[in-house]
Structure 1
Amino acid sequence: MNYHIFCNTRSLPHNCSDAIGEYTKRLSAYCNTELHCTEYLNDLIRIYKTGQPVFWIQPGISTYSSEDFSNMIDTLQQQGNSTVHILIGYKPDLLTRLYTIPDIDQSLQYMRMTGFQLSDSTIALLLVEQIYRAYTILHGKTYHK
């Protein structure tokens, strides 16, 4: 599975970047993750292929448990999806540009990771950690030692 994570920022703070790098290294046994720090979605428009899921993370109280998130990843894999795009921190008016892509309206889904208002870089770190946790659950490995 390939994850393209788009974060609405020019760069990440050093501590977040290091932590995301550590989780990305651990995730390499299960999947490929690529973080795009960009204020615009040109990269997504360039690499998106029809039918690939696009998740837009928004703050809200209805969130996934770790088990539900791992089940969602498992379902995506079973449906034959090999690439997932995840958007963090983009305003709705910027996302209107995505609707120029054919069939994207059928692929765009909303996802809530936390009820707290966090920075985009912190949400990116939280997301990568949750993806790692999901794969440890799917492979029956212990997360906490």
Structure 2
Amino acid sequence: MDLMGIVNQAIASSDTEANGSLIGTLLGNLNNAPVDNNKIGGIASSLQGVLQDKGRGNPGGLMGTLKTVAATGAVDRLLANEQISAIAQRVGADPAMVRSLTPLIAQFLVKGSNSQGGGLLQKVLSGEVDLGQMAGLIGMANKFL
């Protein structure tokens, strides 16, 4: 199954909050965010590493954190200032980009996952879905909107 197929399968699952307009909404939000499209994938890949560290053995707990970040934009619940700076430096982005993109990625994972962290979050934590590639596809699609 290809990457979009995996994502669509997670979104279509009956125990997630996602619906058919999720991708369109996220694309619209990303389009309006002050994020350079060619850096989206790098930020998302770095964020996947943080998620895998935090979610190891406790995807349900991580799910609660992601819900807070998605709903409030409180990125500090997931990333320390040093982590934000390190990600920004690694991908050659402004820390504000990391702060603006993280809640959108959290929203995407929350909507495509159940409250126990199954679905899309589990696929990201296991490495089955590469968040960097996913975000890169979203960034590429953005150019054609």
TM-score of the alignment, normalized to the shorter chain, above 0.5: no
Q: Who wins on radius of gyration, i.e. which is larger?
A: 1
Q: Which has the higher helix share?
A: 2
Q: Which has the higher strand share?
A: 1
Give me the TM-score of the superposition, normalised by structure 2: 0.30
